[in-house]
Amino acid sequence: DADVTQTPRNRITKTGKRIMLECSQTKGHDRMYWYRQDPGLGLRLIYYSFDVKDINKGEISDGYSVSRQAQAKFSLSLESAIPNQTALYFCATSDWNGELFFGEGSRLTVL
Amino acid sequence: ILNVEQSPQSLHVQEGDSTNFTCSFPSSNFYALHWYRWETAKSPEALFVMTLNGDEKKKGRISATLNTKEGYSYLYIKGSQPEDSATYLCAGNAGNMLTFGGGTRLMVKP
């Protein structure tokens, strides 16, 4: 089983719908992250959390929100999805040295 | 947020060729430089995390160097194999956030 698990792996939705992507980890790391990947743009940070009571905006947080329900769980929400949020989303964890461990990715299509 | 750039964007080589690509970043406020390997349909996986100027790390046929004073890192692959085909990402850390470059897509032809 993967150490960092994302659900759903694929989702097609319509403009205006609320979507939640979930991430859980068994690595015991305090730090968790949400990234999105668009072709040619690399990975861009949406939100990150260094512990359960800590939430921080990344480069591109507008239109997104997160919840850190427990050390092992970090969910990403799109309150009202729009087509330019179509992307591949990665959850990741790290320990103190910052090396990232990624989930399998969640491909979201907003029609 | 660091401005991290990678070149080239893509690279085609023949099996057995050695190759290298570049990651550049602002030399001020630097903390760490990461390299990740991302195969199609898989998740990115860490290759190296480097922090010290002059650092050189090696894993099998892949090695990396770091120059923090001039703001660049090189990734070298010796004797490329088809299984090395992947996108190689570098990321710079100037504080709490890693900023990724756009990646170099390597394709190794048998």
Task: Give the residue-averaged pLDDT of A30-46.
Answer: 91
Q: Which of B3, B41, B52 is nearest to B25 (CA)?
A: B3
pLDDT of residue B83: 95
pLDDT digits over A78-100, tens only?
999 999 999 999 999 998 888 99
pLDDT digits over A47-84, tens only?
999 999 899 999 999 999 999 999 999 999 999 999 99
Average pLDDT over chain B reads 92
Judge: A90–B36 Cβ closer than 8 Å, yes or no. Answer: no
pLDDT of residue B54: 86
pLDDT digits over B65-89, tens only?
999 999 999 999 999 999 999 999 9
Task: Write the DSSP symbol of residue B26.
Answer: -
Quick one: how many helices (H) and strands (E) in chain A? 0, 11
How far apart (Å, rounded) are the C-alpha atoms in residues B98 and A79?
A: 26
Percent of chain B with pLDDT over 90: 76
Residue A2 has pLDDT above 80, yes or no: no
Interface test with A, best of B1, B10, B43, B99 (most A CBs within 10 A): B43
Residue B2 has pLDDT above 80, yes or no: no
pLDDT digits over A6-32, tens only?
999 999 999 999 999 999 999 999 999
pLDDT of residue A1: 63
Judge: B34–A97 Cβ closer than 8 Å, yes or no. Answer: no
Q: Where are the alpha helices (DSSP H) in chain A?
A: none
Q: Which residues of B touch A54 (CB under 8 A)?
A: none
Interface test with A, best of B1, B40, B98, B104 (most A CBs within 10 A): B98
Task: Write the DSSP symbol of residue A41.
Answer: T
Q: Element (H or E) spanning B105, and its range?
A: strand B104-109
